[in-house]
């Protein structure tokens, strides 16, 4: 039995090792990346439509609108579409903002659909049909674009086949908690390693759903926004690049935004991204391999679409790793087989290296990034364990084609708002998932206690990470908005 468990664990690690090797290729490419120089505009500034898809964003909408108000761009060359699908007080906040506009402000259009079909993709498509701009800039509610954003990005549409210019996310609340620092490590690695590496390798990159500018013609040519996946941004990105459109990525142009500050908000976001990626794999993998892209680009693109499916391996490792550490500590496998454990150990070291390089490249304060890296990364690994069961459910649903609603990630704007609204949320139990997560929590406790009893450090540490991750999943509430009272609305307007 011990050997069967060991070799299943080894197979899972071998598959994960292939994924890590792919990430190392991206590290190599990313380190060769150079920020593209901003071309000189040899023509008049084009007309731009700025789309702001909103759904119940009362705590951050005023901040977003004020940031858009400060954009440096000719007034007659820009229109602002507030795509408001809200069912709460957000719409009233927008109306108050519009009443306060001055003559010098841009053309703001408050667009409300009669029915919220297609969620975010539906809102973007609805706005696109009403837009007059040749280029479409998109910002989610928690973003605070720099005043020079449009001037920094529009210049890069210097060739007719450039379909998208994507910028890098920056995190305004990274220091809020260990949870936000852990998310920053993950996202910094995506923007520093994966996006840079893919663009350097002439492979497909993805629009990150916000803080980017599309050529309107590209969206139309690729078939428009579709709501048949939860990651409409990834889906449109692949359909456009399969058509031959080129994308640009500007690492040096930062777009500040807010990280989820509660574990359940993070969990909801990751579920949407993971399930959506599985849906996009099913929908686009054949298109990718039938395209004219190079073999290398197709291979990297396949790994890209399979990224979220890593959770299938994570659950296997989560269940088997402490058992393997136990049988190793107690010499229950042949001595000739112990060297195979180096595969699992090397994965850990390589992941530390990849995340370290990615986080360091994106961090302004290098010293602080280095000092906080280990606790932040260990927290991220624990969080990954804690959401893994829920993610696997989403991934399997994605591959099976089961449709679910697009659930927004709540944003709060600042600590004071978070404190005030925390009691105005309901606790919604997902009984089946919560039970499995509680069992996983007890499983972690078992290995933590056994590891401590036997002085088996690896088993104890792994058990502790399981306990921490699933404690977050089990004991932190899942929040949903309640109807707010008047003082909370006033707070959001201020």
Q: Which two tokens stand for residue 187?
A: 């996202």
Residues facing residue 54 across a β-bridge: 84
Residues facing residue 51 across a β-bridge: 81, 138
Given the structure tokens 């690690």, which residue do they identify?
13
**Annotated catalytic residue within 89, 140, 233, 235:** 233
- CB contact at 8 A, 59 and 492: yes
221 catalytic, yes or no? Answer: no
Residues facing residue 79 across a β-bridge: 49, 107
**Annotated catalytic residue within 85, 89, 125, 140:** 85
- CB contact at 8 A, 50 and 81: yes
Instruction: Give the Cα separation of 109 and 95 in Å (integer).
Output: 11
CB-CB neighbours of 113 under 10 Å: 14
125 catalytic, yes or no? Answer: no
- CB contact at 8 A, 264 and 479: yes
Give 395-423 as a DSSP string: HHHHHHT------PPP--SSHHHHHHHGG
Instruction: Give the Cα separation of 454 and 433 in Å (integer).
Output: 32
Strand-strand pairing, 246-257 and 212-215: unpaired
Active-site residues, by number, are 85, 233
């Amino acid at each position: 039995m011990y050997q069967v468990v060991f070799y299943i664990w080894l197979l899972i690690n071998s598959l994960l090792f292939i994924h890590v090797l792919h990430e190392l290729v991206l590290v190599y490419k990313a380190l060769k990346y150079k920020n593209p120089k901003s071309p000189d505009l040899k023509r008049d500034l084009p007309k731009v439509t700025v789309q702001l898809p909103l759904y119940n964003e009362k705590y951050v909408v005023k901040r977003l609108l004020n940031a858009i108000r400060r954009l440096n761009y000719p007034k007659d060359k820009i229109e602002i579409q507030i795509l408001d699908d809200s069912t709460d007080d957000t719409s009233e906040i927008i109306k108050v903002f519009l009443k306060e506009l001055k003559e010098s402000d841009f053309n703001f259009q408050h667009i409300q659909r009669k029915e919220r079909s297609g969620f975010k993709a539906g809102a973007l498509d609805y706005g696109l049909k009403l837009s007059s701009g040749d280029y479409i800039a998109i910002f989610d509610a928690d973003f605070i674009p720099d005043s020079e954003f449009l001037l920094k990005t529009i210049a890069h549409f210097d060739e007719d086949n450039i379909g998208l210019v994507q910028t890098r996310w920056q995190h305004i609340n990274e220091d809020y908690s260990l949870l936000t620092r852990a998310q920053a490590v993950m996202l910094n690695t995506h923007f520093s390693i994966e996006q840079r590496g893919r663009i350097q390798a002439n492979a497909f990159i993805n629009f990150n759903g916000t803080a980017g500018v599309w050529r309107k013609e590209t969206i139309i040519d690729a078939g428009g926004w579709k709501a048949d996946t939860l990651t409409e941004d990834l889906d449109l990105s692949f359909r456009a690049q399969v058509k031959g459109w080129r994308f640009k990525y500007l690492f040096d142009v930062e777009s500040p935004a807010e990280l989820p500050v509660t574990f359940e908000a993070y969990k909801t976001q990751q579920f949407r991204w993971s399930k959506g990626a599985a849906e996009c794999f099913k929908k686009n993998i054949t298109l990718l391999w039938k395209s004219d892209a190079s073999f290398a680009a197709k291979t990297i693109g396949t790994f890209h679409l399979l990224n979220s499916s890593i959770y299938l391996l994570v659950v296997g490792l989560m269940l088997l790793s402490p058992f393997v550490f136990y049988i190793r500590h107690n010499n229950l496998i042949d001595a000739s087989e112990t060297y195979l454990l180096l595969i699992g150990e090397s994965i850990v070291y390589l992941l530390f290296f990849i995340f370290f390089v990615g986080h360091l490249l994106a961090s302004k304060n290098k010293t602080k990034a280095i000092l906080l890296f280990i606790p932040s990364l260990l927290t991220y690994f624990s969080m990954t364990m804690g959401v893994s069961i829920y993610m696997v459910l989403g991934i399997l649903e994605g591959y099976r084609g089961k449709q679910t609603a697009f659930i927004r990630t709540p944003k709060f704007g600042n600590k004071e708002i978070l404190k005030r609204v925390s009691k105005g949320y309901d606790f919604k139990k997902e009984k089946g998932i919560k039970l499995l997560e509680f069992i996983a929590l007890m499983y972690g406790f078992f290995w933590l206690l056994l590891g401590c009893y036997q002085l088996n450090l690896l088993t104890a540490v792994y058990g502790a990470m399981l306990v921490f991750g699933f404690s977050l999943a089990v004991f932190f509430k899942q929040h949903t908005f309640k109807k707010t009272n008047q003082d909370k609305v006033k707070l959001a307007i201020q």
